[in-house]
Structure 1
Amino acid sequence: MKQSLHPWFEQAWSELNLTNMPHAILLHGQTGIGKMDFALHLAKALICETSQATKPCCQCEACHWFDTGNHPDFLGIVPESQAHLLPHEEMAGDDGLDEKPKKGRKKVEDDSEKADKKASSVIKVEQIREALDGITTSPHRGIQRVVLINPVETLNPVSANTLLKTLEEPPESTLFILVSDRLDRIMPTIRSRCRLLALGRPSADLSLPWLATELASAGIKTSQAEIEKVLNEAGGAVMDARDRLLGLSGAGESAQDIAEPLLKALGEGSQINWLQTAEVIHKAPMSELLVTLERWTADLMSQQNAGQIRYYPSRRSSLEQCSKSARSHKLSDYWKILLNARRHELHALANRVQIEALLIRYQEIFKD
């Protein structure tokens, strides 16, 4: 199975030396730009056993095993909600290989009682402990083992400290690939023990043609203007834009379902019906609500200061009207409130209470 690197990562990839890697590398950047794809490409290249200079070759046994999720020296640790992002049997199809190392698989046939349970969005303590306990032995194929953890910021303090101890005394022939959307949430001691690699958001010149190609491959006809609109509203997060355009935002409330009623309400400025709005959107993930609030507020400040709109140019009329009546100092204070809310968005607090409080504070921006 050939997995090509996204074009916006080619420069970062060219700067890596696969023969001289640190024991831990921390990939960080904006959410929704494909960092997990880059991490998997790197993991596969490190495990690839070809003698060719270009890796991964996608032809050797190690590459085939990686694609099927059966390579004994690759360990991916992600929240339950992201398990589908890891290599698995379905990705490889029929590759004709009869001999593959079989790792222990979790039984799902008798998991009916867990079927209705919502998948966790954080990495659990048990996952880290089980994984790190299993890397004390030598790699099965005698080369190296790769451990991928994404996103690192979802580790709780106990798990983070367990990982830190391992990074301080890393097992021989084991390389860690850590991925993060929020570098500021990671323990400084963990960051200091990794080589940091920033993965930048792709430019529109790269994103727009790529999105057009993805849509064409899926047989979906969409105007260039619509693609640009969705990309802007996604803050340049090309993978998020693709999922929205392809209708792959996931089960439950999609990003589009969340943003539309919230943005419409925010456009009403001082007349916002915060109670009714909270009733409509409070079941959505808090992180997505906060991102939308942040982008709208950023556009308001940008419109006030420079007459420019980045995220929601299609809502220019509402933004211009709101920016005229918003009090600059209150808008700046509200921005700080949103930043603080982002730091605590993973806490087990009631969404309804939080979003109501934020919408009330938003309404106050327009009052003397």
Structure 2
Amino acid sequence: MIYPWHQQAWRQLAEHWQNQPNAWLFTGKENTGKIAFARFVAQALLCERPSENRQPCGECASCHLFSQNSHPDFYELTPEIPEGEAVGRKLLQIKIDAVREIVDNIYLTTVRGGRRVVLVHPAESMNIQAANGLLKALEEPPQHVVFLLVTHARDKLLPTIKSRCRQMVLTAPGREEALAYLQGQGVDNAASLLAFHSGAPLFEAAPELDDMRDELLDILAAPRLLVMLDYAAAFDRQKQPLAVVIDCLQKWLIDIGLAQQNMPPLYYPDFAAQSAQVAAQTDALKLFALTGRLNALAPYGHHTLSVKMQLESLLIEYLNFWQNK
């Protein structure tokens, strides 16, 4: 399946089908259909009776196996979620053992006599050992093996990996197209959710997080110390990573900065009046300082630090900012 906004990219790829590289790197915004696109390419590469425009037939033995997630020549490398474990506060990674297992297999004879395809997503989740292990295979690729790498954060990849892949940018849909898609899926409050998710329509539904975010925004609009401390304790009980709150706060501060320049909000259009009110009573320099604090903390958003204590500290800093202290 390819989403409508990626049809043009598929046509460009199909037109040069005979000039396939041994490795593709599909880049673009998260939650816009890049993995679905890569899977479609993988199925097309493995299909035994592709159509004239290179689309998979959906009927041959390879397509059947692919649809059942059991094709013996298709390998998928993605962070594993430990069975029975809470992973909300864990930074999931692709590790070297998983890379080694796949690399060992792709040097063997193909099962169905055609290509072998390795899909890696998100590629930036490989730790340094795993990335170096994959790099060796990219430097000396086995015959008839195609690597498909998908990344939401291209700059986090090793330059040597990027240099050994043919890169294709998969663009996100425009706002109207994305909004129409969400409304067609019956998503409630589609416009607000689309704004918060930066125009990426394929976000996972998370009603509990949406409620927690709305509660946080009400607090940020009119902060009180005891309410903030209660919120930090309640959030900690949900076992969510600090990255969730950092993301919400960063976007809220961006909207405040826009309001200080008499510009409309980007992420919270339903809270335009509240962000404008905060912008009117706060100082731009203090806003930049608080933003810098959040940016410095962001890399540790999934660290096993005390989320409650960190969140209390952040909210108190925000209260001081709101009070112009």
Q: Normalising by the residue count of structure 1, what TM-score does the alignment of the two structures yield?
A: 0.78
Q: Distance in 2 between matches of 1:40 and 1:254?
A: 30
Paired amino acid for 2:275: L
Secondary structure of 1:175's counterpart equals strand
1:11 equivalent among 2, 8, 14: 8
Q: Distance in 1 between matches of 2:20 and 2:313?
A: 47
Q: Distance in 2 between matches of 1:324 and 1:35?
A: 40
- For 2:86, the equivalent position in structure 1 comes to 118
2:194 equivalent among 231, 240, 243: 231
Question: Would you say 1:205 and 2:173 are equivalent positions?
Answer: no
Q: Distance in 1 between matches of 2:225 and 2:278?
A: 11
Q: Normalising by the residue count of structure 2, what TM-score does the alignment of the two structures yield?
A: 0.88
Paired amino acid for 2:24: I
Alpha-carbon spacing, 1:42–1:358, altered in 2? closer, same or farther (3 Å)? farther
- For 1:38, the equivalent position in structure 2 comes to 37
Q: Distance in 2 between matches of 1:201 and 1:357?
A: 36
Q: Distance in 1 between matches of 2:30 and 2:74?
A: 24
Q: Distance in 2 between matches of 1:291 and 1:200?
A: 22
Alpha-carbon spacing, 1:361–1:212, altered in 2? closer, same or farther (3 Å)? same
Q: Distance in 2 between matches of 1:344 and 1:18?
A: 42
Contact kept in structure 2, 1:274 and 1:359, CA below 8 Å? yes
Q: Distance in 1 between matches of 2:105 and 2:208?
A: 37
Instruction: State the shift of 1:148 in Å.
Output: 0.7
Paired amino acid for 1:65: L
Contact kept in structure 2, 1:7 and 1:206, CA below 8 Å? no
Instruction: State the shift of 1:150 in Å.
Output: 1.0
Counting matched residue pairs gives 316
Instruction: State the shift of 1:328 in Å.
Output: 0.7
Question: Would you say 1:260 and 2:259 are equivalent positions?
Answer: no
Question: Would you say 1:29 and 2:28 are equivalent positions?
Answer: yes
Instruction: State the shift of 1:274 in Å.
Output: 3.7
Task: Output one character per residue of 1:51-88: Cα deviation in whole Å (capped at 9) or x when no partner.
Answer: 4223122122111110001111110111234xxxxxxx
Which moves more between the two structures, 355-364 or 151-160? 355-364
Paired amino acid for 2:5: W
Q: Distance in 2 between matches of 1:39 and 1:290?
A: 30
How does 1:178-327 map onto structure 2 within 5 Å? 178-215=149-186, 222=188, 226-240=189-203, 243-244=204-205, 249=206, 254-269=208-223, 273-282=227-236, 283-327=239-283
Alpha-carbon spacing, 1:24–1:343, altered in 2? closer, same or farther (3 Å)? farther
Alpha-carbon spacing, 1:238–1:157, altered in 2? closer, same or farther (3 Å)? same
Alpha-carbon spacing, 1:353–1:115, altered in 2? closer, same or farther (3 Å)? same
Q: Distance in 2 between matches of 1:70 and 1:150?
A: 18
Unaligned 5+ runs, structure 2: none
Instruction: State the shift of 1:308 in Å.
Output: 1.1
Secondary structure of 1:196's counterpart equals strand
Secondary structure of 2:243's counterpart equals helix
Instruction: State the shift of 1:270 in Å.
Output: 7.4
Instruction: State the shift of 1:271 in Å.
Output: 5.9
Q: Distance in 2 between matches of 1:75 and 1:361?
A: 47
Alpha-carbon spacing, 1:115–1:178, altered in 2? closer, same or farther (3 Å)? closer
Contact kept in structure 1, 2:50 and 2:56, CA below 8 Å? no
Alpha-carbon spacing, 1:115–1:24, altered in 2? closer, same or farther (3 Å)? closer
Paired amino acid for 2:126: L
Alpha-carbon spacing, 1:169–1:6, altered in 2? closer, same or farther (3 Å)? same
Cα RMSD (Å):
2.4
User: Percent of pairs identical after alignment?
Assistant: 32
Alpha-carbon spacing, 1:301–1:208, altered in 2? closer, same or farther (3 Å)? same
Q: Distance in 2 between matches of 1:307 and 1:229?
A: 17
Task: Output one character per residue of 1:141-184: Cα deviation in whole Å (capped at 9) or x when no partner.
Answer: 23211111111222111111111222222222111111122222
Task: Output one character per residue of 1:313-353: Cα deviation in whole Å (capped at 9) or x when no partner.
Answer: 11112111111122211212333333333334344433334
Task: Output one character per residue of 1:85-128: Cα deviation in whole Å (capped at 9) or x when no partner.
Answer: xxxxxxxxxxxxxxxxxxxxxxxxxxxxx753235733233222
Which moves more between the two structures, 6-15 or 280-289? 280-289
Instruction: State the shift of 1:262 in Å.
Output: 2.1
Q: Distance in 2 between matches of 1:59 and 1:184?
A: 39
Alpha-carbon spacing, 1:154–1:319, altered in 2? closer, same or farther (3 Å)? same
